[in-house]
Amino acid sequence: MNLRTIFYRAPATAAIAALCIAVFAIAAAQSSSLSNTVWGSPLGIRMVLYGPFVAEGPLGWLRLLTAGFLHLDLSHLFVNMLMLVLIGGEIERFIGTARFVVAWVVGTLASSAAVLAMAFDTPTAGASGALFALLAVLVAIAYRRSSDLRAPIALLVLNVAFTFIAPGVSVWGHLGGLAAGILLAWPLTYSPPIPRR
């Protein structure tokens, strides 16, 4: 499958992945580091979710969205983009590009809101919150298809377990995204997507 086919079949998935990679490349170049791409980068500092920065002015609230496209280091980016590629295309093809974007944006915003509410002084970045929203939607898709639910549920459970076991993971960010996905799962999957022309 070539890049043109990927963009046609799942354009939002491809665009989000490309944007995350581009942001990381710029931040890494600015910081001269692959392992600390936030605080050494002007772009990273402008995008990271950090309560005191959000409260600085009206544009600070944009961080609730921009932080979802920023990653802390190369392994952080790799894991999240791998998950996006594994589940994003399938979800987007089932619910349609517009609904996929809704799931991604709402998942990101809910994740960021949970972090601000519960961990205001903790700097946070990454696509994980949106990915947790997508995991909930993936389970709903399997149910709508009358497919075997074991694989998507196992994937969700493993990721939730990882959230509580691994150090340095944004627990509230993941749970906020998951909560949004649970609320969105039914309305986003209740009917077929509008065909793309």
The DSSP line for 4-65 is HHHHHHSHHHHHHHHHHHHHHHHHHHHHT-SS-TTTT-HHHHHHSB-HHHHTTSGGGGGHHH
Q: Would the pLDDT of 79 be above 80?
A: yes
Mean per-residue pLDDT over the chain, rounded: 93
| pLDDT at position 1 | 53
Q: For residue 31, is pLDDT > 80?
A: yes
Q: In percent, how much of the chain has pLDDT > 90?
A: 84
Residue 158 pLDDT more than 70? yes
pLDDT at 8 over 80: no
* CA distances from residue 39 to 9, 29, 68, 137, 149 in whole angstroms, order as listed: 36, 12, 16, 33, 41
Give the HSE-up count for residue 161: Cα atoms under 13 Å, Cβ half-sphere: 6
pLDDT at 23 over 80: yes
Residue 2: per-residue pLDDT: 54
pLDDT value at 5 more than 90:
no
In the chain, the domains with their CATH numbers are 3-189 (1.20.1540.10)
- The type of residue at 33 is S
